[in-house]
Chains A and B, each alone.
Chain A
Amino acid sequence: MDLYKKYVDVIAMHRKSGKMMPMYICWEDGRKYKVDQVLNVSRRVSPVGGCGVRYVCVVQGQRKNLFLEKDKWFVESCQP
């Protein structure tokens, strides 16, 4: 399956420990998806291009990679 790089808005929690956790991924049509769990945080390159901090999230029961690339968030999306 082809994946595409899609920049998204993200609502994140900046914890007092200095850590940042994504809470919601906001799709361009206005829908908000709650990040139920963050399984893993590490620096990674993405096959769709770009690299940064990768948050492996669980959204609606599915694993989804969310990347923070410098100051922008993107997901590996099935839709262009």
Chain B
Amino acid sequence: MRDRTVVHMDINHCYAQIEEVRRPELRRRAMAVGGDASRRHGIILAKNDAAAAAGVKTGETLREAVRKCPGLLILPPDYDEYMRLTEYVREIYADWSEYVEPYGLDEAWIDVTALYDSAGSAVKAAEAVMWRIEQETGLTVSAGISWNKVFAKLGSDMAGARQIVTIGRDHFRELVWPRPVRELMHVGPAAAGKLQLMGVHTIGDLAMYPETALREVFGLPGEIMRTAARGDDPGRVAAYGYRKPQAALGMTVTMMRDADSFTDLSAVFCIVAEQLSARLRQMGLECRVIAAALRTNDLKWQTVQRKLPVPTDLGEELWRESMSLLKEKYTLAKPLRAAGLTLTELRPADRDRQISLFTDENRRDRLRSLEKACDDIRERFGAGMVRRGCTLMDTELADPVYTAEHIPGPAGSFGGRKSVTDGSV
């Protein structure tokens, strides 16, 4: 069977480049797009070449970035514009092939196997597509071409702006294997740390490591990482427009001041639970597992989770469960900067579910009607129009939660975890 030809394209420092397209004079100075420092979302989301040359890094705090590069211009993000342009770029990909799978706003895989006989003609076609993108949107992209998704992405990471890196079967050992293991998709920072301790430093080391040993340490992800390193990643490029079924739903908020008591957290979680439950009902889903993610003011994340006694789409139950989960499994040793909930094991809301002896289904139905009525009111008049008393105790803390920005993040590497977050890290 003929090898696949998968192209991965990546819009270079996407948000910053879109700002440069709108205002070309920004190309001449160090500039970055950063979260809103007044809302404590103060991190660098993207930077231009001049800022990168000064050492500014994506993900670092605005303060750190300005220290490195004193004249740095920091622009607030304009997600509407980023979505408009990146969607247009995706349409250009879709003109090329019907297999286009976006990965976040700025990246996508395109399967062009059926279109070309050789990798050489695929490269020429990719050049033409890159030229078209630049002509029509002003954006430069980099591309990687390989027979699998993982190496295609690695290729585009290795390529500079307007460049294409082809990783073929005949030379991938020389090209890919000497590279640090962290550069491989599916290897996160935590896994990379563990791998270092095991003496696995390069992608080649990972490819040659005994499978059973990896499985013992990492479980299934270990096997996936090794398969990826060997170039055997079987992942297909999804058809354009295909959406994976929702696997998780989450919302995290960075608070206007640190939360230092369960009372503070209760108000925040109350709103988060309300908003998530409204989304669940909108999608006709209920969840089985609830996880609370907490970030202390020294920027460390911790997650606790629990399986619910009965699947639910009720805000009140999500709220009470999350608070009882926290009180049971979490000690508030340090003030919290950010907190949120993630709901998993989503499934269609099953109205004919088995009735538990210990839950009052009539009461739950009444509660559902009440919450739906509140959803309608919020939809018509605004998010904070109907609210529980506990969220009025400290409006400075609670109010901004209602207006937290919801930004779709990229689907995770394993099984398409998709969540709604405020974009803060």
- A residues engaging B (CB < 8 A)? 42-45, 47-51, 70
Cβ A70 vs Cβ B136 within 8 A: no
The answer to whether A49 touches B23, judged by C-beta atoms less than 8 angstroms apart, is yes
Residues of A within 8 Å of B135, CB to CB, are 44-45
Given A50-B21, A51-B21 in contact, is the A45-B84 Cβ separation under 8 Å?
no
Q: Do A45 and B22 touch across chains, with their CB atoms under 8 A apart?
A: no
Contact bitstring B100-126, A, C-beta under 8 A = 1, else 0: 000000000000000000000000000
Expressed in whole angstroms, the minimum distance between the Cβ of A39 and any Cβ of chain B is 17
Closest to B138 in A: A45
11 A–B contacts from the bound complex (CB under 8 Å): A43-B88, A43-B137, A45-B21, A45-B134, A45-B135, A45-B136, A49-B22, A49-B23, A49-B24, A51-B137, A70-B84
A49 touches B21 (CB 8 A): yes
- Does B52 make an interface contact (CB < 8 A)? no
Other A-B pairs beyond A45-B138, A49-B23, 20, CB < 8 Å: A43-B88, A43-B136, A43-B137, A44-B136, A45-B21, A45-B134, A45-B135, A45-B137, A47-B24, A48-B24, A49-B21, A49-B22, A49-B24, A50-B21, A50-B22, A51-B85, A51-B136, A51-B137, A51-B138, A70-B84
Residues of B within 8 A of A50 (CB): 21-22
In chain A, what residue has the closest Cβ to B132? A43
The interface residues of chain B lying within 8 Å CB-to-CB of A45 are 21, 134-138
**Which residues from chain B contact A47 at a C-beta distance below 8 Å?**
24
| Cβ contacts under 8 Å, B136 to chain A | 42-45, 51
- Which residues, 1 to 41 on B, are CB-close (under 8 Å) to A? 21-24
Closest A residue to B136 by CB, please name it: A43
A46–B361 Cα distance when bound, in Å, is: 61
Which residues of the partner chain A approach B134 to less than 8 Å between Cβ atoms?
Answer: 45
- Within the complex, the shortest CB–CB distance from B25 to chain A, in Å, comes to 8
Residues of B near A51 (CB, < 8 A) are: 21, 85, 136-138
Q: How long is the Cα–Cα vector from A43 to B88 in the complex, in angstroms?
A: 10
Residue of A with least CB distance to B92: A43
